[in-house]
Chain A
């Protein structure tokens, strides 16, 4: 199993550009989520999904869109990048999203918006 994979690993954007961060898991997990991590801070939840076709907002959803057309994939779209979106983005998955489930994290995408 590859676990949770994320692409790209690094990305530089100009203000106003759009892009999609890719996330895939091969563990047949129902629950997937996106977090951002800023320097010296923990992770803040952007969006999450409890299964294919179902998504919901987390703590900091503004400026981001998600969709979940398959169990395996959960892409995160930046609509119009802003410098405030410079961060490290982590995708995670767990079997059902239960509060005792293990969340498996990807290696992260390091995004810089100029």
Chain B
């Protein structure tokens, strides 16, 4: 059973467009993290959200944690080719450190 569903699975857009990717679950999480992974490398943490309704901004990236702490979204404004990569969400329920990852959204931004 996949606890975290990410959508869309693939997204190909032109430079300058806006996009939103989603991470949904029927389970409540203590925190949710977003990672970006480039080909041939390990994932790199972008942000951690903890509070229901929390919004965090990282330059052109806006992350939101759902009020019920079951879902999250990542919005990118004016996408650039450097945003290309696999975006992964990961949820954790306790302080045990066991994160559950979604299957990821592969984003391609064409110049």
**A positions within 8 Å CB-CB of B:** 4, 31, 33, 35, 40-45, 48, 50, 58-59, 90, 92, 94, 96-103, 105-108
Which residues of A have CB within 8 Å of B111?
none
Query: Can you spell out 30 A-B residue pairs with CB atoms less than 8 angstroms apart?
Result: A4-B42, A35-B101, A40-B9, A41-B103, A42-B4, A42-B101, A42-B102, A48-B98, A59-B100, A90-B42, A92-B42, A94-B97, A97-B95, A98-B95, A99-B30, A99-B31, A99-B94, A99-B96, A99-B99, A102-B45, A103-B33, A103-B43, A105-B43, A105-B44, A106-B42, A107-B40, A107-B41, A107-B42, A108-B40, A108-B42
Residue in chain B with minimal CB distance to A99: B92
Task: Point out residues on B near A: beta carbons under 8 Å.
Answer: 4, 6, 9, 30-31, 33, 40-45, 48, 50, 88, 90, 92-104
Beta-carbon contact of A97 and B97 below 8 Å = yes
CB distance from A10 to the nearest CB of B (A): 11
- Give the A-B contact count at a CB cut-off of 8 A: 69
Q: Which of B6, B40, B98 contacts A45 (CB 8 A)?
A: B98
A98 to B97, CA, bound (A): 5
Contact B99 A103 (CB under 8 A): yes
Q: Are A45 and B50 in contact (CB under 8 A)?
A: no
Residues on A with C-beta less than 8 A from B33 are 103
Majority secondary structure of chain B interface residues (helix, strand, loop or mixed): loop
Q: Is the CB of A99 within 8 A of B44?
A: no
Closest chain-A Cβ to B107's Cβ sits at a distance in Å of: 14
Cβ-closest chain A residue relative to B3: A59
Measured CB to CB, the nearest residue on chain B to A108 is B42
Shortest B54–chain A CB gap in Å is 12
CB distance from A77 to the nearest CB of B (A): 20
B104 near A97 (CB under 8 angstroms)? no
Complex Cα–Cα for A98 and B94 (A): 8
| Beyond A97-B96, A99-B95, A99-B97, 8 additional pairs, beta carbon < 8 A | A40-B9, A42-B6, A45-B100, A99-B92, A99-B93, A105-B42, A105-B44, A107-B40
